[in-house]
Amino acid sequence: MNIIFFLPYKSLNFEMLFLETIFLVAACLVKTPAALYYDIPCTVTASIFGCVASFLIQDLHIRETRMQYELEYVSEHDELTALSNRRGFDLHITQTYEQCCSERSLCGIIMMNIDHFKLYNDSYGHLAGDNCLQRVSRAMKSTAKQHGAFLARFGGEEFISVIHRVNEQAVQHYAEKLLHAVRREAIPMNGDIVTISLGVCTQVPQKADDWMQQVDRADHALYTSKKSGRNRISYWQKESQ
């Protein structure tokens, strides 16, 4: 942690000592490695000439716990879209698969890709591209929340969603809602609008570490959507491998 500066509170506690020092209640601004700032209460010993001689940070344990939580949040979320990132996804799918294996319940994984995103960046610039990613993310996040699903940015213009404790029809319905949610955003793109392609795989997990295989299958279905003209949903089937 780096101590940045002292910020005295409006009502200060003064106590004159024999050594011509003053104790006052203040706050020091602390910067964490993740560039998050915290206003932490401390006691400062200052001379009558205004020079800080020493300080003692109070309630450090409580604040460190909060900082640790914030640092974990930053490490598991994408800065641009505020969605979970790849690490956040790995943690979530591991827990979900353990639950599904225990309950013998179905898990649906949906891979999504923004269609022709490189062309969008080339046409409108990277700042517009970032804005496009944010708008698409918000549209899908709202839909995911309505269906109790998990959503993450998998990398670049690719996203992944997990939905479980539902049947196959519910997974298909959710995928269709995602497709239409992005269409409704109507983000202009060279005379048309931005769309997404989706690949879906549903299965009842047999082992807790089988999720990587299911992700590969959803990715294979996504490739089928892109190869078939994009702006559509494809479902993984055993014979399609």
Q: Contact, 219 vs 199, CB < 8 A?
A: yes
Question: What is d(CA 207, CA 205) in angstroms, rounded to the nearest whole number?
Answer: 6
- β-pair type (188-189, 158-164): unpaired
Q: Angle of helix 126-146 relative to helix 168-185, nearest 10 degrees?
A: 140
- In 80-154, where does DSSP find H-type helix? 86-103, 117-124, 126-146
| pLDDT score at 223 | 98
| pLDDT score at 57 | 52
In the chain, what percentage of residues exceed pLDDT 90?
66
| pLDDT score at 22 | 40
SS3 (DSSP) at 163: strand
**17-65 pLDDT, tens per residue?**
333 344 444 444 444 444 444 455 555 555 545 554 455 555 555 566 6
| pLDDT score at 78 | 96
Q: How many residues does the chain have?
A: 241
Domain positions in the chain: 2-75, 86-240
92: pLDDT strictly greater than 70:
yes
C-alpha neighbours within 13 Å on the C-beta side of residue 51: 3
- What is the pTM for the complete model shown? 0.74
Kindly report the number of other CB atoms within 10 A of residue 45's CB atom.
15
**155-190 pLDDT, tens per residue?**
999 999 999 999 999 999 999 999 999 999 999 999
In the chain, what percentage of residues exceed pLDDT 70?
71
Please give the biggest Cα pair distance in the chain: 88
Q: Which residues pair with 159 in a beta bridge?
A: 112, 153
| pLDDT score at 95 | 96
Contacts of 194 (CB under 8 A, 6+ apart): 114, 115, 120, 132, 136, 182, 185, 187, 188
SS3 (DSSP) at 23: strand
| pLDDT score at 69 | 72
Question: What is d(CA 84, CA 27) in angstroms, rounded to the nearest whole number?
Answer: 33
Which class would CATH give 86-240? alpha beta
Residues serving a catalytic function are 157
